[in-house]
Chain A
């Protein structure tokens, strides 16, 4: 598995397919943070703080923009094999198709998590420099800089697990349709229908897109560990289920 994983990571790096993800994520992160910073300064007559700004970053982008970028990245990693017909090389090797599929997913996950973590880390460092780190508050409740950092780290981790769930779902769609455009449309429709169609509570509580509001953990007065663990467990179950179905479909593919 490790050597296949290395091959898949090398392919992503050499194809430079991650570059536009850096550009789009970077643009949305910097525009959101700049916009929010000046909005607070201009309208609220108060000093922006690092927790508030990172919260705004997630609140603005986590519902649609980030998921779309991430879905497109995961879809393109798998779909390139169908488009270039290089899937023949992979299927003609002595490796299990399930191993190949999982290696593709894990390689994409490693690349995405690395880029996203660096981006959030860089934003946090920059915001820590330009804002007053001695006066951080959630509403009227003051917290220390250490606590702010800890909350950002925890929220980013759960956010990344949620985004990996999005990645595994989008890769599954592409394994079914073998078409980048169709897969992106199906993914977008899923997000759209989730927001538009009224669903019963028991369903919405356990559907993976519930993770769109993961950033709520950032400004909880008291951090709810039980709720946090429930979210993480739910996303992991979904990642396992989507990857399992994806592996099954991929292993049955014919050329």
Chain B
């Protein structure tokens, strides 16, 4: 498989505390990969490092074969992201904000950007100031900002936050669509059913490290053989439990 992101031995230490501890994983071109883990597992920190917003204390991240720490500007055009809450200027209109996002990537409005606006249902509110937007609309606009410059890799941290049922359904279809266009998508979420529905592969994070990656197909196969009802949920608890038990016994041994 052609890898578009390779994370090797990444460590992130803040104020003496390990937020990420020796993270290794890779993302294949054109797949949708989900990162799951509890609060504080290090998901957002890992995504920020992949986006170049944060630097690793040690280790290396290669995006499309380029080092994120050494050539960030070359990579930024290939990556679009929505990390934590959407970053929006309340005093701008959605049109101003999207034009600004394009200009920052030295791009102008194209048929593609129009399509994104239509697909996310922002076209009706383009002339309205962002401060008047509902939180769901802000989330959609944040996603539009992440993909408007047509990146090949899209990173979405908790993308269904603030979305209602219709919004979630529309976003699911949108993610599937952009993936069919050939974009690689990385999603982190607490909502396991969403991840299960959308993703080809899952990376399970706990206490600052990726403890396992597996394809959704494989997880489903395992759950059938184990007789589990909620495949991903059971898988998650089983793996995190096993991992913690292993770590406790390692600690006891050492």
Contact = CB atoms under 8 A, between A and B. Distances in A.
B53 A92 contact: yes
A16 to B, nearest CB: 7
A46 interface: no
A10 B97 CA distance: 11
B102 to A, nearest CB: 10
A9 to B, nearest CB: 12
Contacts, number: 69
B89 A84 contact: yes
Range for the number of chain A residues in contact with chain B: 20 to 34
Nearest to B106: A94
B34 interface: no
Nearest to B82: A88
B104 A95 contact: yes
Given A7-B103, A7-B104, A14-B96, A91 B53 contact: yes
B105 A94 contact: yes
Interface stretch (B73-81, B205-213, B236-244): B73-81
Contact of B52 (A85, A92, A95): A92
Interface in B76-123: 76-77, 79-81, 83-85, 87-92, 96, 100-101, 103-106
B6 interface: no
B10 to A, nearest CB: 14
Contacts of A255: 48, 53-54, 83
A217 B153 CA distance: 59
B55 interface: yes
B186 interface: no
B63 interface: no
B51 interface: yes
A84 B88 CA distance: 7
B180 to A, nearest CB: 24
B145 interface: yes
A109 B48 CA distance: 32
A175 to B, nearest CB: 16
A89 B80 CA distance: 10
Nearest to B92: A14
Interface in A83-135: 84-96
Contact of B89 (A11, A16, A94): A11
B104 to A, nearest CB: 4
A15 interface: yes
A4 B87 CA distance: 18
Contacts of A254: 53-55
Contacts of B83: 88, 255
B81 to A, nearest CB: 6
Contact of B88 (A86, A91, A93): A86
A3 to B, nearest CB: 6
A88 B146 CA distance: 11
B96 A89 contact: no
B241 to A, nearest CB: 33
B90 A84 contact: yes
Interface in B37-65: 48, 51-55
Q: Identify which of B55, B74, B100 gathers the most chain A CB atoms within 10 Å of its CB.
A: B100
Contact of A89 (B74, B106, B145): B145
Interface string A5-27: 00100110011100000000000
B116 to A, nearest CB: 16
30 contacts: A3-B103, A7-B103, A10-B96, A11-B89, A14-B96, A16-B91, A84-B88, A84-B89, A84-B90, A85-B84, A85-B85, A86-B87, A86-B89, A88-B87, A89-B101, A90-B104, A91-B52, A92-B52, A92-B79, A93-B104, A94-B73, A94-B76, A94-B77, A94-B105, A95-B104, A254-B54, A254-B55, A255-B48, A255-B53, A255-B54
Interface of B: 48, 51-55, 73-74, 76-77, 79-81, 83-85, 87-92, 96, 100-101, 103-106, 145
Give me the 5 closest cross-chain CB pairs, A-B, nearest first.
A93-B104, A255-B53, A88-B87, A86-B87, A254-B54
Interface of A: 3-4, 7, 10-11, 14-16, 84-96, 254-255
